[in-house]
């Protein structure tokens, strides 16, 4: 049985996110809001952090719905949610050396669900590398 972190990694791969050779990209799918991708940074251990977001304009301000930072570990074929920002607020899994176990559970569960919805909505970054 696979872990949620392995499922998230596989879903990111299926969307073509892990094959992007660019720092930023957008994917479109019909009437849905564009999906934005940003490569934030790479760590010395080979892991890297990306952001995925749907954004809309409200009174001239860009609003996330949602915007998530995700750490990817290609060596272990795992990925995990780090942060979530949406109209309800901002949550993060790690604060210094402390782990918010509830946020870790909630954010990874949401990320797996969202990535599955993105696939069903036919979002893809394939061919943009």
pLDDT digit string, tens, across residues 24-67: 999 989 888 999 999 999 999 999 999 999 988 888 887 888 99
Q: How confident is the model at residue 128 (pLDDT cuts 50, 70, 90)?
A: low
Residue 8 lies in a domain: yes
Residue 128 lies in a domain: no
**Spatial separation of the C-alpha atoms in residues 86 and 50, rounded to whole Å:** 17
Residue 129 lies in a domain: no
Residue numbers of the domain that contains 45:
4-120
pLDDT digit string, tens, across residues 5-26: 999 999 999 999 998 877 999 9
75: phi then psi, degrees, rounded to nearest 5: -60, -40
Residue 33 lies in a domain: yes
List residues bridging with 79 in a β-sheet.
Answer: 72
Class of residue 52 by CB neighbours under 10 A (exposed 0-12, middle 13-18, buried 19+): buried
User: Are 33 and 54 contacting, i.e. CB atoms less than 8 angstroms apart?
Assistant: yes
Kindly report the pTM of this predicted structure: 0.92
Residue 20 lies in a domain: yes
* Number of domains within the chain: 1
Residue 40 lies in a domain: yes
| Structure-block tokens of residue 32 | 């849905």
Over residues 102-123, mean pLDDT: 96
Q: How far is CA 104 from the centre of its chain?
A: 14
């Amino acid at each position: 049985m696979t872990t949620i972190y392995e499922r998230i990694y596989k879903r990111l791969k299926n969307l073509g996110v892990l094959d992007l050779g660019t720092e930023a990209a957008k994917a479109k799918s019909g009437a849905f809001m564009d999906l934005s991708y940003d490569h934030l940074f790479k760590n010395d251990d080979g892991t890297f952090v990306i952001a995925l977001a749907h954004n809309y304009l409200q009174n001239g301000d860009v609003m996330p719905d949602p915007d998530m930072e995700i750490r990817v570990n290609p060596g272990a074929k795992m990925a995990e949610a780090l942060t979530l920002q949406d109209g309800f607020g901002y949550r993060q899994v790690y604060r210094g050396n402390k782990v918010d176990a509830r946020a870790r559970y909630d954010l990874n569960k949401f990320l797996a669900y969202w990535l599955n919805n993105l696939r069903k909505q036919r979002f893809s970054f394939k061919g943009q590398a």
